[in-house]
Amino acid sequence: MMEENKVKIKKFLSRFFRKHELADDEDIFALGFVNSLFAMQLVMFLEKEFAVTIDSKDMDLDNFRTINRMAALIEEKTVVDQQL
């Protein structure tokens, strides 16, 4: 599941990083393409694609820095949702 989620995240990000093959552990903020509009779009994408709610406490840049970290956040939230 984790790998499938990474593929989905990578596909979404490829729209914004067209000329760059993103690695799973690559810092997207360090690449310099990120603006506030992208940040909004990213949160919306993650919530819609993975049917999770990103809360105020999740709003730490580190959670969104790499594909790996986003996938980990989604997994963590999916587990929590299933427990509820």
Partner 1 sequence: MKLELTPEQSQWQEQFDAFVDEHIVPLADRNDREERIHPDMLKSMIDAGYLGSMLPKNYGGMGLDNVTCGILNEEIGRGCSSARSLLTVHGMVSLAILRWGTEQQRNQWLPQLASGGVLAAFGLTEPGAGSDAKSIETTAVLDGDEYVLTGTKKWITVAQIANLFLIFAKCNGKPAAFLVERERPGLTVSPMFGLLGARGSMIAEVVMTECRIPKQNLLGQVGMGLTHIALPCLDYGRYTIACGCVGLAQACLEAAVEYGSTRIQFGRPLRDNQLIQKMVSEMAVQVKAARLLCYKAGYLRDIGDPDSIMETWTAKYFASTMLGKIVGDTVQIHGANGCHDGYPVERYFRDAKINEIIEGTTQMHEMLIAEQEFVTGRRTVQPKSETVYS
The encoded tokens of residue 13 equal 């990000």
Q: What distance in Å separates the CA atoms of residue 40 and residue 36, rounded to the nearest whole number?
A: 6
Start-to-end C-alpha separation, the chain? 20
Q: What distance in Å separates the CA atoms of residue 42 and residue 13, rounded to the nearest whole number?
A: 8
Window of 1-9, 13-21, 23-31, 76-84 that interacts with partner 1 by CB under 8 A: 13-21
| 35 to 74: interface string for partner 1, x by CB under 8 A | -xx-xxxxxxx-xx-------xx-x---------------
Residue placing its CB nearer to partner 1 in the complex, 46 or 71: 46
Q: Closest distance between partner 1 and the C-beta of residue 45, in Å?
A: 4
Residues engaged in binding partner 1 (CB under 8 A): 12, 15-16, 18-19, 33, 36-37, 39-45, 47-48, 56-57, 59
